[in-house]
Amino acid sequence: MISLKHLKGIHLDHHKNTAGFTIVPMPVPEKVYIPMVQHIGAPNVPVVSPGDRVKVGQLIGDSEAPVCAPVHSSVSGEVVAIETFMTQMGRNDVNIVIETDGKQELADTVVPPVVTNKEEFLKAVRASGLVGLGGAAFPTHIKYNPRNPEEVDTLIINGAECEPYITVDHMTMLAHAREIVDGTLNTLKYLSIKKGIIAIEGNKPDAISLFKDLTKDIPEIEVFELRLVYPQGAERVIIFETTGRHLIAGKLPADIGVLVSNVNSILKLQQYLETGMPLVTKSLTVDGNLIVHPQNVEVPIGTKIRDVIEFCGGTKRDPKKILFGGPMMGRAMPSDDLAILKGNNAILVFDEAFSTMNPETACINCGRCVRGCPMNLMPTTLAKAWDRKDLETLKAYDALTCMECGSCSYSCPARIQLSYKIKLAKDLVMQDLRKQVEKAKAQAEGGKNA
Amino acid sequence: MNTKDSQLIVSSAPHIVDPVDTASIMKDVVLALMPALAVAVYVFGIRALLLVATCVGTSVLFEGVTRKMLNRPQTIGDFSAVVTGVILSYNLPVSIPLWMAAIGSFVAIVVVKQLFGGLGQNFANPALVGRIVLFTSFSTAMTSWPLTDRMSSVLWEANGLVAEATTDAVTGATPLALFANAKDVPANLDMFLGTVSGSMGEVSAAALLLGGAYLLVKKVIDPAIPAAFLGTVAVMAVAMGFDPIFHMCAGGAMLGAIFMATDYATSPLTTKGKIIFGIGCGFLTMGIRVFASYPEGVSFALLLMNILTPHIDKWTKLNIHGVPKGGEKS
């Protein structure tokens, strides 16, 4: 058997219209709306009240829960309300609404932390409010503290940016290469990891040569050029492409000796170590065929989408689709009244020509979805099994392995929403697994009582 | 939420899709079939066009009418009926009465395709079954092979005829029938270029290969099936002491391997499955040619492998990476 060199994938038009657009800081808006849940895990509880004055970098929400990342004010001003609202994901959350004073005074707490060992490092990571900025938004201090630290030998810095349109990581790498290298070195040092790999897709040769230059005397950091095949930036794909290790569903990267962080996460971490400024701004690509001035902007977290769009010259016509993230995995927003969170990396605004869904036609069994699936799944088989709610087939064909990269739906000439069907199928399988666990538990208890 | 917001479309990712759709794939297949049509017109004359037009016209008509009668969304726009019509016509002798060809279209489109659920649901290749039904129903018309003066003189001589006698329609045995009767067969160059008798679209290996190359470049078909099919034919020919080039070019082997065995709905999904399918087709084709009473075996070989396809798909299920066969060891 020939050993596998690359995972399958698809070829996309990159549409990197904003490549070369340096990141522009956006002036603070009149009000920011900072949600308490900007990560995977327990919600934060506000530690400020309406009427309180806050400054930039001040802690405003925190929690005792183990899996949680605190949030900080991105502006100086006055807390005017603490309100519930419906999030991007359709859940209820709490916003801290701050009316800005435009002075952007720094909080007294914004001083470089003292870090000399792993405990202090992890404490600093938590205090920075850092979450995975690639989109998953998992609290970084939890990720950096796995059960098996001695087995972790590789830190992968994800600079793939494989989604079309988005260029903000590219621009960040060009502007902050030194800090990213230093952040990588610090993380390697404090977590006792031997090797760092900065992995960048081949369509960013300037970033690749910049990092190669900066790290030529640093043996522990390797700069890795990724192929131009979507989705190189997906965690499981980038791990395989750079290390040859397979991350299977239900396992953590640390279980196979790897930690993966986005370039932006490493940058924000290094900036916190240098200045003590927690994660309060986020750089975004603002693009799409309706944006008057597409560009890369750095916005205070909590800025509403409509303020960002306004800053970029507004839209040419009424938008039909607003995406948070790229066109392959991004989420379509129900409203422009939502705020930018830590995990967002793009706002894309499109017209009806882009947004109209093509009617689904019959599967012709062409196998393009199979050819495109990086996880080696058979999407059409799964989608057909979902249509008839066939749990046996969904399990046998590994539905839970799907990472929802969208390659199958993109490739489908019959316009079947394979990725969406498999996403629903995963829920069905999870429900069934939970039911089985409960049943087993009930049986065990019944046995005890008898 | 203001009124502007309520007009936003909220749908599941991905939000972009490959420009390639079912209709564009089918149009590519039709385009890839055109070189063989050009050769057919050259070799058999203008009636080749009439036969293609009849098969395509009736196929599209039957498709449209059936969809309407079954109250299903109209699908003639996807061009799949056009592909079926062209391929059916390629499987017929050029002299076949047109009403028979129309019956072939009826069997292919109405019986095999639409009554089994339409595009993608048919268990066997519609054009193939159309041909088999015509072959068993009208065996004389389906085995009368016109000879024309464009064809190899070897063919005429082997049939005991002289090439000058072309004023009346003359018929004779095809190269494969000559082979079955251990007579002289046309030179390989004639077999390759298509200056021989046979079904109108199958004669020219060169034209079919040209179309196949186009489909490979456009990634419409995967090389696995044609390569395994023709490879097996060649290997078996050599093993039994016959000329492999002759057997790859003769009869429906090229048309079958490139355009019919690769029919999506009736061939396996995975590369491994396609290879098994291709080998099976080649094996059965040669088996029938050499050992059975029919001179040609591609049709029945394909039909049998079509029926096996769901099973091959089951045997060749892909496994996810990183998990040993038989599940994860924890």
Tens digit of each residue's pLDDT (9 = 90 or more) over A318-332:
999 999 999 999 999
**Cβ contact, residue pair A361, B318, below 8 Å:** no
Q: What SS3 class is residue A259?
A: strand
Q: Judge whether A53 lies within some domain.
A: no
Please count the residues of chain A: 450
Chain B residue nearest residue A363, CA to CA: B120
For residue B129, being part of any structural domain is answered with yes
A269 in the same domain as A126? yes
The pLDDT, as a whole number, for residue A2 is 53
Residue A130 lies in a domain: yes
Domain end marker among A251, A275, A299? A275
Q: Do A323 and B17 touch (CB under 8 A)?
A: no
Q: To the nearest 10°, the Cα dihedral for B46, B49, B51, B55?
A: 180
pLDDT in the model for residue B167: 54
* φ/ψ of residue A285, rounded to 5: -90, 130
Contact check, Cβ <8 Å, A327/B16: yes
User: Of the candidates B9, B78, B321, which has its C-beta nearest A332's C-beta?
Assistant: B9
User: What distance in Å separates residue A75's CA from the closest CA in chain B?
Assistant: 25
Flag whether pLDDT at A105 surpasses 60. yes
Contact A415 B17 (CB under 8 A): yes
Average pLDDT over chain A reads 93
Model confidence at A1, pLDDT cuts 50, 70, 90, reads very low
The interface pTM score, or ipTM, of the predicted complex is 0.90
Residues A130 and A253 grouped into a single domain: yes
Please check whether residues B52 and B133 belong to one and the same domain. Answer: yes
Residue A89 lies in a domain: no
> For chain A, how many structural domains are there in total?
2
Residue B203 located in a structural domain: no
For the segment A202-211, what is each residue's pLDDT rounded down to a tens digit?
999 999 999 9
> B325 lies in a domain?
no
> Are residue B46 and residue B130 in the same domain, yes or no?
yes
Q: Is residue A297 part of a domain?
A: no
User: From the list A320, A323, A413, which residue is nearest B21 (CB)?
Assistant: A413
Same domain, A372 and A255: no
Name chain A contacts of B14, Cβ cutoff 8 Å.
327-329, 406, 409-410, 419
Does B159 lie in the same domain as B122? no
Q: Which residues of B touch A (CB under 8 A)?
A: 1-2, 4-5, 7-18, 20-22, 24-25, 75, 78, 80, 117-121, 222, 264-265, 267, 269-270, 313, 317-323, 328
- Which residues does chain A have within 8 Å of residue B314's beta carbon, measured at their own beta carbons? none
Say yes or no for a CB contact (<8 Å) between A330 and B15: yes
Q: Considering the domain boundaries, does residue B244 fall inside one? A: yes
Compute the C-alpha angle A183/A185/A187, nearest 5°.
70
State whether A332 and B75 contact (CB < 8 Å): no
Query: Which residue in A has a C-alpha nearest to residue B326's C-alpha?
Result: A396
Contact criterion met (CB < 8 Å) for B14 and A319: no
- For residue B162, the Cα-to-chain-centroid distance in whole angstroms is 32
Q: Are residues B240 and B170 in the same domain?
A: no
List chain B residues with CB under 8 Å of A393: none
Size of interface A-B (CB pairs under 8 A): 160
Residues B124 and B151 in one domain: no
Instruction: Report pLDDT for A249.
Output: 87
The pLDDT, as a whole number, for residue A3 is 65
Q: Which domain holds residue A408?
A: 368-449
φ/ψ region of A406 (left if φ > 0, alpha if ψ in -120 to 50, else beta) reads left
Q: Is residue A236 domain-resident?
A: yes
Residue B265 to residue A350, Cβ atoms within 8 A: no
Q: What does the pLDDT read at residue A398?
A: 94
Same domain as B120, residue B61: yes
- In this complex, do B264 and A364 lie within 8 Å of one another by their Cβ atoms? yes
- Say if the Cβ atoms of A357 and B222 lie within 8 Å: no
Helix B98-106 vs helix B126-137: angle between axes, to the nearest 10 degrees? 130
pLDDT at B326: 54
Contact B118, A414 (CB under 8 A): no
Residue B325, pLDDT score: 58
Would you call A401 and B320 a contact, using CB atoms and an 8 Å cutoff?
Answer: yes
Residue A200 lies in a domain: yes
| Residue in chain A nearest B309 by alpha carbon | A365
B86 falls within a domain:
yes
Residue of chain A whose alpha carbon sits nearest to that of B322 = A246
Q: Do B318 and A370 touch (CB under 8 A)?
A: yes
Q: What is the DSSP code (8-state) at residue A429?
A: H
Measured from the Cβ of residue A252, the count of other Cβ atoms closer than 10 Å reads 14
CA distance B19 to A55: 50
Are A152 and A268 found together in one domain?
yes
Q: Residue B2's pLDDT is what?
A: 46
**What is the count of structural domains for chain B?**
3
The label of the residue with tokens 């597409």 reads: A294
The confidence score (pLDDT) of residue B230 equals: 97
pLDDT at A266 over 50: yes
The residue of chain A nearest to residue B1, with distances taken between CA atoms, is A335
Give the pLDDT means over successive 10-residue stretches in chain B (330 positions): 63 92 96 97 95 98 96 94 97 96 97 94 95 94 88 83 65 87 88 92 96 97 97 97 94 96 95 97 95 89 96 93 60
Examine the pLDDT at A65 and tell me if it is beyond 60: yes
Cα dihedral across residues A281, A285, A289, A292: positive or negative: positive
Give A393→chain B minimum CA distance, Å. Answer: 11
CA B257 distance to own-chain centroid: 7
Q: How confident is the model at residue A444 (pLDDT cuts 50, 70, 90)?
A: confident
Of B197, B230, B260, the residue that ends a domain is: B197
The answer for residues whose C-beta is within 8 angstroms of residue B181's C-beta and 6 or more apart is: B173
Number of other residues whose CB lies within 10 A of the CB of residue A147: 8
What percent of chain A is predicted at pLDDT more than 90? 88
Record: contact A332-B11, CB cut-off 8 A:
yes
Residue B169 sits in the same domain as residue B118:
no
Out of B17, B270, B321, name the one closest to residue A410 (CB): B17
CA distance A381 to A366: 12
Query: B244 and B185 in one domain?
Result: no
Whether residue A243 is contained in a domain is answered as yes
Q: What is the pTM of this model?
A: 0.91
Q: What is the pLDDT of residues A332-342, one digit of tens each?
A: 998 899 999 99
Q: Given the DSSP bridges, would you call strands A195-201 and A77-86 parallel, antiparallel or unpaired?
A: unpaired
- Per-residue pLDDT, averaged over A55-80, amounts to 95
The residue whose two tokens read 């190189």 is: A232
Claim to verify: residue A249 and residue A372 sit in the same structural domain: no
Q: Is residue A360 domain-resident? A: no
Same domain, residue pair A138 and A244 = yes
Work out the average pLDDT over A53-69. Answer: 94
Q: From residue A53, how far is each of A78, A81, A100 by CA, in Å?
A: 4, 12, 10
B174 in Cβ contact with B143 (< 8 Å): no
Model pLDDT for residues A81-98, shown as the tens digit of each residue: 999 988 877 788 999 999
Q: Which of B15, B17, B118 sits opposite A332 (nearest CB)?
A: B15
Predicted local confidence at residue B163, as pLDDT: 64
Cβ–Cβ gap B22/A401 under 8 Å:
no
**Residue A378: which of B16, B120, B317 has the nearest Cβ?**
B317
Please tell me whether residues A267 and A373 are part of one structural domain: no
Does B256 fall in a domain?
yes
Question: Does B112 share its domain with B162?
Answer: no
- B17 to chain A: which residues are within 8 Å by CB? 358, 409-410, 412, 415
All residues of chain B having their beta carbon less than 8 Å from the beta carbon of residue A363 are 120
| Higher-scoring residue by pLDDT: B3, A435 | A435
Taking CA–CA distances from A375, the nearest residue in chain B reads B320
Same domain, B92 and B67: yes
Co-location of A145 and A268 in the same domain: yes
CB contact under 8 A, B9 and A357: yes
At which residue do the structure tokens 């900065």 appear? Answer: A198
Q: Judge if B60 and B107 occupy the same domain.
A: yes
- Domain shared by A243 and A384, yes or no: no
> What pLDDT shows up at residue B1?
40
Residue of B nearest to A322 (CA): B8
CATH (domain of A154): 3.40.50.11540
Among chain A residues, the shortest Cα distance to B319 is held by A376
| pLDDT tens column, A364-380 | 999 999 999 999 999 99
Residues of B with Cβ-Cβ distance to A330 under 8 angstroms: 13, 15
| Domain identity same for A130 and A268 | yes
Residue B213 lies inside a defined structural domain of this protein = no
Q: Tell me, what's the pLDDT at B158?
A: 82
Q: Which structural domain, as residue segments, surrounds residue B162?
A: 146-197
A240 vs B contacts (CB less than 8 Å): 321
Domain stops at, among B111, B126, B142: B142
The answer for residues whose C-beta is within 8 angstroms of residue B236's C-beta and 6 or more apart is B247, B282, B283, B286
B17 inside domain: no
Indicate if the alpha-carbon torsion angle A251, A256, A261, A266 is positive or negative.
positive
Last residue of a domain, one of A221, A256, A275: A275
Distance from CA of B13 to the nearest CA of A (A): 5
B45 and B138 in a common domain: yes
Tell me the pLDDT tens digit for each residue of A162-184: 999 999 999 999 999 999 999 99
pLDDT at B25: 97
How distant is the Cα of B75 from the closest Cα of chain A, in angstroms?
A: 9
Q: Which of B120, B142, B164 is the last residue in one of the domains? A: B142
Q: How far is CA B265 from the centre of its chain?
A: 13
